[in-house]
Structure 1
Amino acid sequence: MYKISALEKIINDSIQNLSFEKSPNTLFEPIRYILSLGAKRVRPVFTLLAANLFSEEVDHAISPALAIEIFHNFSLLHDDLMDRADLRRGHATVHTKWNENTAILSGDAMLIEAFLQIAKVSSERLSQTFDLFSKTALEVCRGQQYDMDFETRTDVSEDEYIEMVRLKTAVLIACALKIGALVSGAPEIDADLLYRFGINIGIAFQLRDDLLDVYGDSKTFGKKIGGDIVCNKKTFLLIKALEKANNSQRKELEKWFNDADSDSDAKIEAVRNIYDALHLKTVSENIIEQYYLMAMDCFSSIDVPDWRKSELLTMAENLMYREK
C-alpha cells in the first residue's frame, strides 16, 4: 500500500514531466505556472488512493489522475478570472500575471490536455471512464454558472446552494475517486460507494472552504480573507445570515450588497460581525460534520479491509480539519 506522501510525489513528478508544445510559449507558460503553484493535489491523490484499494500498483491510474488535476486547475484559472481574484495559493493569478485573454486561451488548452490524458486509459475501461469524466466536466460548468447567477440574488435557498456546491466542487472529487476504482477493476457497488463518499466529502470540503474564507488566516489560506463577501457570493454563511437576520441586520446586509463602491475591508468586517452575532461559525461547523458523517457511512460499506482504507481515511480527515 502506498502512503499519501508517496502518491503526492508520483503526481508532482508526473506533472513536472508533462510535455507541452514548445511554442508559442505565451500559451504554455501560464499552464506550467498554475500547475507549479504548490497545490495539495487532493483530487489526483484521491484517484491513486482509490486505485490502490483494489490494486497493488497505481501506474495505470496516473494518466486519469493527471486529467483530474489539469481539469481542476483549468477550472480555477477561469474561476479566478470570473471572480477577478488577485491571488491563488499565495501567488498572482494568471490573468493578473499575464492578461485576461491569456487566461482564457491557456485555460482552453488545459481542458484539451485533460481529455488527452483521459484518452490514455486502457481500452477496456476507456468508455466508462471517458463518459464519467465528460459528464463531470459539464456538471462543473453548470455549478460555476449557478454560482455566478446567485451573485445577483438575495433569495438563494440552502438547497440551491448545496446543489451548486455538489456540481461545482463535489462531483469532481467523486469522479476522481470513482475513476481510480474503475481503472483498477473495482466492483460496481464499491465504485458507486466511493462516488457517494466523494460527493459528501466534497460538499463538506466546500463548506469548509467557505468558512475559511471568512474565518481563516490569509497566510495559511493562500488568498485574501473575505473574497466571497466582497463578491456577494451566496455561501452557506450568507444564506443562513439572510434566513436568521432581524430587520436591522438584513437591511445592513442588503446595503453592503448594493453598494458597489464600498470599501472592501469595511464590508468584510461589517458582514463578519453579523455572522458572529448570529453564531454562524458554529452552525456551519455543524453542517460540515453532518456531511462528513454521511461520507463515513458510505466509506465503511466499501468491501475492502480496513487496513487498506487507512490512507484514504487519513486523507479525508485532513480535508475535514484543514486550515488552508
Structure 2
Amino acid sequence: MYSIPQLQDLINKQIAESRYPSAPDELYEPIRYIMSLGGKRMRPVLLLMACDLFDGSIIKALDPAVAIEVFHNFTLLHDDIMDKAPLRRGKQTVHTKWNDSVAILSGDVMLVKAYELIARVDDKILREVLSIFNNTATGVCEGQQTDMNFEALDSVTVQEYLEMIRLKTAVLLAGSLKIGALIGNASPEDAEHLYTFGENLGLAFQLQDDLLDVYGNPEKFGKQVGGDILANKKTFLLIKALELAENLEEEELHYWLNEENADPETKVRSVTDIYNRLGVRQLADEQMNEFAEKALSALEKVNAGDDKKKALRHFAEELLVREN
C-alpha cells in the first residue's frame, strides 16, 4: 500500500518530466508554469489510491492521474480569467502574467493534453473511462456556469447551492476515484460505491471551504479570510442566513450586501457577527458532517481490505479537519 506522500511524489515527478514543444513558447510556457505551482494533487492522488485499493498497477494509472490534474488546472486557468483573479497559490495567474488570450489558448491545449493522457488506459476500459471523464468535464462546466448565474440572482436555495457545488467540485473527486477503480479492475458495484464516496466527500470539502473562508486562520487556510463576504458570494452560510434572518438581522444583512463603499474589515466583522447570531456556522458544520458520514458509509460498502480502506478514510479525515 502506497502512502499519500509517496503518491504525491510520483505525480509531481511525472508532471516535472512532462515534455511540451518549445514553440510557440507563449502557448506552452504558461502550461509549464501553472503545472509547476504545485498543490496537494488531491484528485490524482485519489485516482491512484482507488487503483491501489484493488491491487491495480499504479504505473498504468499514472498517466490518467496526471490527466485529471491537467484537466483540473485547465479549469483553474479559465476560472481565473472569469473571476479576474490576480493570484493562484500565491503566484501570478496566467492571464495576469501573460494575457487573457494566452490563458484561454493554453487552457484549450491543456484540455487536449488531458484527453491524450486519459486515452492511455487499457483498450478494454477506454470507452467507459472516456464516458466518465466526459460526464465529469461537462458537470464541472455546468457547475461553473451555475455559480456565475447565481451572481445575478437575488435568491438561491440551499438545494440549488448544493447541486452547484456537487457539479463544480464533487464530481471531479468522484470521477477520479471511479476511473482509478476501473484501472484497478474493480467490479462495477465497487467503482460506483467509490464514486458515491467521492461525491459526498467533495460536498463536505466545499462546505468546509465555506466555513474556513469566514472562520479560518489566514496563515493556515492560505487564502484571504472573509473574501466570500466581501464578494457577496452565495455560499451555504449566506444563503442560510438570508433564509433565517428576520427584523434587525435581515435589515443589517441587506445593508451590508448593498453597501458599495463599506470598509472591508467592518463588513467582514459585521456579517460574521450576523452569522454567529443566526447560528449558521453550526448548521454548516452539521451539513458538512452529514455528507462526510455518507461518504464513509459508501466506502464501507467497497469490497476491499480494511487496511487499504483505512488509507482512504484517513485521507478523507485530513481533508475535512483542516486548520481553522
TM-score normalized by the length of structure 1? 0.95
- Offset from partner CA, 1:189-212 (integer Å, 9 cap, x none): 000000000010010011111111
State the alpha-carbon separation in 2 of the partners of residues 36 and 74 from structure 1: 13
State the alpha-carbon separation in 2 of the partners of residues 307 and 40 from structure 1: 23
| 8 Å Cα contact 1:87-1:222 kept in structure 2 | no
For residue 115 of structure 1, report the CA deviation from its aligned partner: 1.1
- The total of aligned residue pairs comes to 324
1:76 is matched with which residue? 76
2:290 is matched with which residue? 290
Alignment of structure 1 residues 152-231 onto 2, 5 Å: 152-231=152-231
State the alpha-carbon separation in 2 of the partners of residues 64 and 25 from structure 1: 25
1:116 is matched with which residue? 116
1:134 is matched with which residue? 134
| 8 Å Cα contact 2:57-2:184 kept in structure 1 | no
Q: Secondary structure at the match of 1:211?
A: helix
Tell me if 1:268 matches 2:268. yes
For residue 282 of structure 1, report the CA deviation from its aligned partner: 1.9
1:67 is matched with which residue? 67
TM-score normalized by the length of structure 2? 0.95
For residue 95 of structure 1, report the CA deviation from its aligned partner: 2.2
For residue 80 of structure 1, report the CA deviation from its aligned partner: 2.0
| 8 Å Cα contact 2:81-2:95 kept in structure 1 | yes
Tell me if 1:13 matches 2:9. no
Tell me if 1:302 matches 2:298. no
- Offset from partner CA, 1:240-283 (integer Å, 9 cap, x none): 11011123322332233334454444332332221122222222
Runs of 5+ consecutive residues of structure 2 not aligned to the other structure: none
| 8 Å Cα contact 2:178-2:191 kept in structure 1 | yes
Relative to 1, partners in 2 of residues 1:276 and 1:98: Cα closer, same or farther, differing over 3 Å?
Answer: farther
| 8 Å Cα contact 2:178-2:192 kept in structure 1 | yes
Q: Secondary structure at the match of 1:166?
A: helix
- Offset from partner CA, 1:1-43 (integer Å, 9 cap, x none): 1111111111000110111121122222222222122300100
Relative to 1, partners in 2 of residues 1:247 and 1:107: Cα closer, same or farther, differing over 3 Å?
Answer: farther
- Offset from partner CA, 1:181-239 (integer Å, 9 cap, x none): 01121100000000000010010011111111111122222222222222222110011
State the alpha-carbon separation in 1 of the partners of residues 168 and 273 from structure 2: 28
1:85 is matched with which residue? 85
1:257 is matched with which residue? 257
Amino acid of the residue matched to residue 85 of structure 1? A
2:44 is matched with which residue? 44
Amino acid of the residue matched to residue 15 of structure 1? I
Amino acid of the residue matched to residue 23 of structure 1? A
| 8 Å Cα contact 2:136-2:171 kept in structure 1 | yes
State the alpha-carbon separation in 2 of the partners of residues 273 and 95 from structure 1: 36
State the alpha-carbon separation in 2 of the partners of residues 31 and 323 from structure 1: 31
For residue 166 of structure 1, report the CA deviation from its aligned partner: 0.5
For residue 56 of structure 1, report the CA deviation from its aligned partner: 4.9
For residue 136 of structure 1, report the CA deviation from its aligned partner: 0.6
Q: Which moved more, 1:58-67 or 1:81-90?
A: 81-90
Amino acid of the residue matched to residue 181 of structure 2? A
- Offset from partner CA, 1:40-90 (integer Å, 9 cap, x none): 010000000000011253111111111111111111222222222232222
State the alpha-carbon separation in 2 of the partners of residues 311 and 112 from structure 1: 32
2:99 is matched with which residue? 99
State the alpha-carbon separation in 2 of the partners of residues 142 and 307 from structure 1: 37
2:58 is matched with which residue? 58
Runs of 5+ consecutive residues of structure 1 not aligned to the other structure: none
2:236 is matched with which residue? 236
